[in-house]
Amino acid sequence: MFEKIKKIWTVKPLRNSILYVLLMLALFRFLAHIPVPGIDPSSLRGILEGNQFLGLLNIFSGGTLESFSVVALGVAPYITSSIIFQLLTMVIPKLKQMQKEGGEEGRRKLNQLTRWVSVPLAAIQAYGFIALISQGGSHAGGGLLLTGFNLFMAMLVMTAGTVFLMWIGELITEKGIGNGLSIMILAGIIATYPRYLQQSIVTFDASQTMNIVVFLVMAIVTVLVVTLINEAVRNVPVNYARHHAGNRLTAGVNTSLPLKVAMAGVIPIIFAISVVLFPTMIAQFFIQARTVWVANLAEQVITLFQNGWFYGASYFVLVFGFTYFYTGVIFQPEDMAENLQKQGAFIPGVRPGAPTEKYLATTMNKLLLIGATFLAVIAVLPVAMQPITGSQTLVVGGTSLLIIVAVIIDIIRQTEAQLVSYEYEQL
C-alpha cells in the first residue's frame, strides 16, 4: 500500500492532479466559512441547535448551513437537475435520441442543459432555505428575516455560489481521479467530523460508552459491506467468433462481460436523502399557517417523519427503489446486445439479438435484488439502532459513511487507472 502511494507521488502528472484537487477543495472549504450578507452566524447557530431538522440539514450540507455561507446550497441544485433530466430522458424521445446517438456532442448538450436548469433551481432552493431559516429565527426570536433588496442579494449570492461549485466540480473531474461533485460532497461530510469528535470528547460521560461502541461496530460493518458490494461483479462469458483479416483467419477470443452488483454506486443514497428530507422541509413552511387544518397537517407530517420506524421504512424503500431506477437509466441491455452482435460476439448458449438482451436484463435484475437489498439494509441500520442508543448523530454518521466509502473506492479505482495508463506510456 505504502509502495503504491509512493509510486503515485513520484508520477508528476498524477501528483499535480492530486495537488490541484486538494487546492480546489481548500477553496471550497474557505468559501464555506464566508456568510451570506445580512445573516448573523451567531444567531443562526442557536437556531440550528434548537431545531433537529435544521441541524440534520446542516450536517448533510457539510456544515455550510451553520454559517449560512455563500455555498450553503452545495451542489444540491445540480443533483436535482440531473434527476429531472434523467427522468425526462426516459419519456422524451428527442432527449433519449440525443443521449443515445449524439455521442460525445449529445452528452455535452445534455450536460449544458442540466447546468442551465440548475441556475433557476438554485434560486428557488435559496429562497426556500432563507424562508426556512427565517421561520426558525422568528420562532426562536432570532430575527433573521430578510426582505426586499437584502433577500434578492442573498438569493443572488447563494445561486452564484452553487454555479461556482459546479465549475469547480467540473475542473476536479477533468483531472481524472474521481467525480468532482462527489468529491466535494465527501469533503463537506469529512469537514464536519472533527467538530463532532471534539464535542463528543468534551461532553463524554460513562453513559455514552454504549453509543460509541455501537457506532464503531456499525462503522466497521458499513465499511466492509459497502466495499464488498461495490467491488462485487458477475462475469458473463462472451465469445468472439472467428473472422477473416485479409488472407488470415483470426481465432476466436473468449472473454467476459463484467456486470457490477452495485452499478448505481452512491447515487441512490444521495437521491434518497434528498427525497426523504423534502416533505419535512415543505411542512416547515406551513407550520405557522393561519389556516388551522394546514398548520395541523404540517405538524403531523413533521411528527410522522420524526418517527424512527416510519423514517427508516421510507428510507429503505427509497434506497431500494432508486437503485433499480438509476441502474435502469445507465444500464441499457438493448444497446449492449446490439453492440455485441455488431462485434461478432455472443454469450454461450444464448442467441444474439433479443434473447441476449433478455438474458442480460434478467441477470442484471437478479444482481440488483442483492445489491439494492444490501445497500438499503446498511442505509437503515443506523436508524434501526437509534431506539437502542437514543442518538441522532448515529443516523447521520451511518449515512455519511455510506457516501464516504463509495466515493473513496471510486477515487482509488480512477487513480489506479491513471497510474496504469502512465506506466504503459513509459514502456
State which of 67-81, 135-149, 375-389 shows the largest mean pLDDT. 67-81
In 69-102, which ranges are continuous DSSP H helix?
76-91, 93-101
Calculate mean pLDDT across residues 61-84.
Answer: 76
How would you classify residue 346: left for phi > 0, otherwise alpha for psi between -120 and 50, otherwise beta?
beta
**pLDDT single digits (tens) 75-113:** 878 877 887 887 787 777 777 777 666 566 777 888 888
**pLDDT single digits (tens) 206-234:** 666 777 777 777 778 777 877 787 778 88
237 - beta bridge partners?
256
Whether residue 60 is predicted with pLDDT greater than 50 in this model: the reply is: yes
All cell numbers assigned to 248: 488470415
**pLDDT single digits (tens) 288-300:** 778 888 888 888 8
DSSP annotation of 34: S
Calculate mean pLDDT across residues 21-47.
Answer: 78
Calculate mean pLDDT across residues 236-242.
Answer: 78
Cα dist from 410 to 135, 208, 297, 415, whole Å:
40, 34, 42, 8
Question: Residue 143: which pLDDT band, with cuts at 50, 70 and 90?
Answer: very low
Whether residue 23 is predicted with pLDDT greater than 90 in this model: the reply is: yes
Q: What is the pLDDT of residue 387?
A: 65
Q: What is the pLDDT of residue 106?
A: 75
CATH fold of 205-427, please?
Preprotein translocase SecY subunit (1.10.3370)
All cell numbers assigned to 361: 436484463
**pLDDT single digits (tens) 343-401:** 778 888 888 888 888 888 888 888 888 888 888 887 777 667 666 655 555 555 556 77
Cα dist from 375 to 39, 271, 314, 317, 391, whole Å:
39, 13, 14, 11, 22
DSSP track, 337-397: HHHHHHTTEE-TTS-TTHHHHHHHHHHHHHHHHHHHHHHHHHHHHHHHHHHHH--HHHHHH
Q: What is the pLDDT of residue 269?
A: 75
Q: What is the pLDDT of residue 178?
A: 82
All cell numbers assigned to 346: 455472443
Cβ count within 10 A of residue 377 = 14
d(CA 86, CA 332): 14
Cα dist from 22 to 183, 184, 384, 403, whole Å:
10, 10, 36, 19
Q: What percent of the chain has pLDDT over 70?
A: 76
Calculate mean pLDDT across residues 188-210.
Answer: 72
Calculate mean pLDDT across residues 48-54.
Answer: 54
Q: What is the pLDDT of residue 159?
A: 92
All cell numbers assigned to 229: 458490494
Q: What is the pLDDT of residue 319?
A: 87
Q: What is the pLDDT of residue 116?
A: 92
CA dihedral 358, 364, 365, 366 (to 10 degrees): 110
Whether residue 58 is predicted with pLDDT greater than 70 in this model: the reply is: no
**Sheet with 233-240: strands ordered across:** 253-260, 233-240, 345-346
Q: What is the pLDDT of residue 421?
A: 78
**Helix/strand/coil for 193:** helix
Whether residue 249 is predicted with pLDDT greater than 80 in this model: the reply is: no
Q: What is the pLDDT of residue 164?
A: 92
**295 contacts 288 by C-beta, under 8 angstroms:** yes
> In the chain, count of helices (H) and strands (E)?
16, 5
Give the domain ranges of the chain: 11-201, 205-427
How would you classify residue 72: left for phi > 0, otherwise alpha for psi between -120 and 50, otherwise beta?
alpha
Calculate mean pLDDT across residues 200-204.
Answer: 69
DSSP annotation of 252: P
Task: Judge if 11-201 and 205-427 fold alike in CATH terms.
Answer: yes
Q: Which burial class, exposed, middle or buried, applies to 368 when counting CB atoms under 10 A from its CB (0-12, 13-18, 19+)?
A: buried
Whether residue 160 is predicted with pLDDT greater than 90 in this model: the reply is: yes
Q: Mean pLDDT, the chain, as a whole number?
A: 77
- Domain 11-201: give its CATH code: 1.10.3370.10
Q: What percent of the chain has pLDDT over 90?
A: 4
Backbone angles phi, psi at 232, to 5 degrees: -70, 135
d(CA 16, CA 324): 38
